[in-house]
Structure 1
């Protein structure tokens, strides 16, 4: 099993505590989180407090893949990055926050998104 840490923190983050860690960050106004595995993979979660984009990258420069909600219509904004950038995404490319947490927990526990989660490979 891979170990994961927040890139702006030092302590490992486990599957059973990652939801609490991410909720705490969002409450504090930190709407993006990057986790890095011991093997060099990256997992990003960017939220607007209601929806989130979850991205999994195999190595630096990899376009990776991201969570999806194929039946969703419209766009959402307010996806704030720590560098001040504010993004907007089609709702089909983001998922409700609870689904994002489920996906992140599964990735941390198994190394891959859940089989029943909609996922877009960007490679």
Structure 2
């Protein structure tokens, strides 16, 4: 049996783990649905068989992946990331052979004496690139 807190805590941890081990992604959604199914924080429920099966897959994948995949590289990886910003136009980002451009919405002002300056736009470019 599991509590709402147990289910949501495990779901959150697996979401973070899935940012490193992408193979976990397909097995997380049913756990999230189970965590949201509690009508009370004090209730304790048995997880559905589908959630138990997904957790078994996750356990198997992690046991295989952790012994074969390093968490960090010895040599930094160059993704070919490049970004440029403009206070009058928007943000452009290139990652490898992929690129995207975002234009500021009409009326949104960036620059000196505004709520958002050029440093803010650079942070936006990095976040969009990630």
- Measured against the shorter chain, the TM-score band is under 0.3
In the superposition, the TM-score normalised over structure 2's length comes to: 0.26
Rg bigger for which structure? 2
Structure in which a larger fraction of residues adopt strand:
1
Structure in which a larger fraction of residues adopt helix:
2
In the superposition, the TM-score normalised over structure 1's length comes to: 0.27
Q: Higher RCO, 1 or 2 (CA under 8 Å, sep at least 6)?
A: 1
